[in-house]
């Protein structure tokens, strides 16, 4: 019988899962790993975020405008 490496719950026989019992446990492990990595490499995280923002500046600005427009439209709807 396989058991979840995170919570220790038994994994159903025949389940395709190998290490973790559920999607939540898998996500949890990934999240913890990512967080540990970010903590260990803060300068890489900052550099990555900065690069991503530089690459996507236009997208972010456009998105910001769209969100603003949606907000205005939603407000107009409410008032009508």
Q: Which positions ≥6 away from 28 have C-beta within 8 Å?
A: 6
Q: Is residue 17 at the binding interface for Zn ion, with CB under 5 A as the rule? A: no
d(CA 34, CA 19): 18
Q: Toward Zn ion, which CB reaches closer, 9 or 71?
A: 9
Torsion angle of C-alpha atoms 37, 43, 44, 49, degrees rounded to 10: 110
Query: From the list 4, 17, 29, 45, which residue makes contact with Zn ion (rule: CB under 5 A)?
Result: 4
Measured from the CB of residue 31, what is the shortest distance to Zn ion in angstroms? 14
Using CB under 5 A, list all residues that contact Zn ion: 4, 6-7, 9, 21, 25
């Amino acid at each position: 019988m396989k058991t979840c490496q995170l919570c220790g719950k038994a994994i159903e026989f025949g389940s395709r899962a190998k290490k973790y019992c559920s999607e939540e446990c898998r996500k949890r492990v990934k999240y913890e790993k990512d967080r540990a990595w970010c903590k260990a490499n803060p300068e890489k995280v900052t550099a990555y975020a900065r690069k991503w923002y530089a690459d996507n500046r236009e997208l972010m600005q456009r998105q910001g405008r769209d969100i603003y427009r949606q907000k205005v439209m939603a407000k107009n709807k409410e008032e009508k």
